[in-house]
Copies of this chain bind each other. A is one copy, B any other.
């Protein structure tokens, strides 16, 4: 190209940044995107230490400012979630096939740990149905709970320890990024599928009960059915209330499980339900959590099951805990640090596994109740913890009369609330692929198994992610008349192509997985354009590639650009690059491809490129005519 007109804007060919600078920048973006230490940076060392302690142990930050006014709110919220924790703890422990008392233990120690290390103000700690079932399903594969309860229980504690270790490690290594790959769609489907299988299990339990009673007497069958009806009524009530977001009614929903348990206990006690064949929870011994360190089992014969259960449950419970923490933080316009949350949740599971607790996280339902009950700080968890301690010390035996059907009703009630039809319908209406990801989890969990369902869904989400990369959208730009703007001709039908030019905007990024596609697609654009314009008689002379949308490029991508250049050159077309971003330009310079492409073929704006191309055309025409004149 000959000398270009004066008005051109200059592309900046500063020397590429060094490898060290790039590595540091990339690592920072990958691992510390939220710049967690920004508050500490400009402080004196003594304050840095305090700030650092406050950063890692948030209780240091909020406890000094704590006052009685806040405590009133937290007390109320704490008692409310404690009343939820007792029936849920017993129920979910049943789901995990472990003694009900473990469920109560699990609401005593972990909330205390979370109150110290957790950064969310609204998260309420507790056991969750999905993970309870998941752990049971995986560990049952090795050891049958009814055959060898001590071994089974020790493996559950070991799985909890592994979960805690994995969660803490992910947090310390700042790998919150891994949890990001569990999308909302996956979680929605997974929760729905889990809810379905849990409900079916409970129904089976109820049928089992019926079958059992027919063997004894007719009266108890009727009673059982009557009882079932009552529970189902409760169930429906709960389910509808859980959906009902009116804050005033949430109390009913929050207290309902406790009421169910109390009514059930009274019924069972006075009707001597046990004698009529209605199963009850059975003996619950007084006393707080015993140590379980000696129970942790690393026998190589069994170790694979707790590791698998621990790792999968760790990811799911993190996804649930962090997602719910974030949601409420956003409502209150606060920020929570995912990696810090991971450490807090991980620590609470590690300590939990030492003190006879199994896997805990921040369940959706309990956290919502906590939030609605007006909690102000993590103190509500402490209040719940103290309530649980009192229960364990004095009231535990009272709950031994709880009929199992009450628990089933509580579980089903909670589960029905987890099936989020609206969300699924919303996904179906707005994004079919997200809907497929959700359904893969739902049907996979319902019909195959929890881990396979989850992997199917995550796999689909990853394929989608990779397809985004493998097939980056390109579009043809045209000039919107009277504006000087170049925009997608499909989006803005009044944008017109410019004779002799084909202007393409490439998607991001270009590299090995999509370079064949990008080349084929560009050649197809040229082919299509030619078949259109050939009738009009104006051939394409310049291919302008708008690279503003390309954030990065790898070696294969650079080679592809050179190949495209060679291909179009053979067709008599000159390739021009417009507005390459920093990363792309640097790579072009490092690989010295810029020397092949020539700096004269790179422009900062489309207008500049077009002006320069026209100028060079005119010059060459001029030279041609001059030559002719000389001849």
Interface residues of A (CB under 8 A from B): 9, 12, 19, 23, 26, 29-30, 33-35, 38, 176-177, 180-181, 183-185, 326, 330, 333, 335, 338, 426-427, 429-434, 461-462, 464-473, 475, 480, 483, 485, 487-488, 490-493, 505, 507-509, 511-517, 520-521, 523-524, 527, 548-552, 554-556, 559, 563, 566-567, 570, 579, 581-583, 585, 587, 590-591, 604-605
Q: Which residue of B lies closest to A579 (CB)?
A: B487
A488 touches B582 (CB 8 A): yes
Q: What are the residues of chain B within 8 A of A471 when measuring CB–CB?
A: 26, 29-30, 33, 177
| Given A335-B523, A465-B513, A551-B508, A581-B30 contact (CB < 8 Å) | no
Whole-angstrom CA separation of A429 from B19 in the bound complex:
10
A555 touches B12 (CB 8 A): no
Whole-angstrom CA separation of A473 from B505 in the bound complex:
18
Interface centre among A177, A326, A521 (most CB of B within 10 A): A177
**In angstroms, how far is the closest chain B Cβ from the Cβ of A569?**
9
**In angstroms, how far is the closest chain B Cβ from the Cβ of A532?**
13
Whole-angstrom CA separation of A509 from B176 in the bound complex:
19
B467 touches A30 (CB 8 A): yes
A517 touches B587 (CB 8 A): no
B180 touches A583 (CB 8 A): no
Whole-angstrom CA separation of A432 from B21 in the bound complex:
13
Q: What are the residues of chain B within 8 A of A605 when measuring CB–CB?
A: 485
24 A-B interface contacts by CB (under 8 A) = A9-B480, A9-B483, A30-B470, A33-B471, A33-B520, A34-B520, A38-B524, A180-B513, A180-B516, A181-B466, A183-B512, A184-B559, A185-B555, A185-B556, A326-B516, A429-B590, A430-B555, A434-B555, A434-B556, A461-B512, A464-B554, A468-B551, A485-B604, A507-B508
A490 touches B604 (CB 8 A): no
Please tell me which one of the listed residues B180, B475, B493, B559 contacts residue A512 in the complex, with CB atoms under 8 A apart. B180
Q: A34-B523, A177-B471, A475-B582 are in contact. List 16 more A-B contacts (CB 8 A).
A: A9-B480, A29-B473, A180-B512, A181-B470, A183-B511, A183-B512, A185-B512, A185-B555, A338-B516, A431-B590, A462-B466, A464-B554, A465-B466, A473-B583, A491-B582, A505-B548
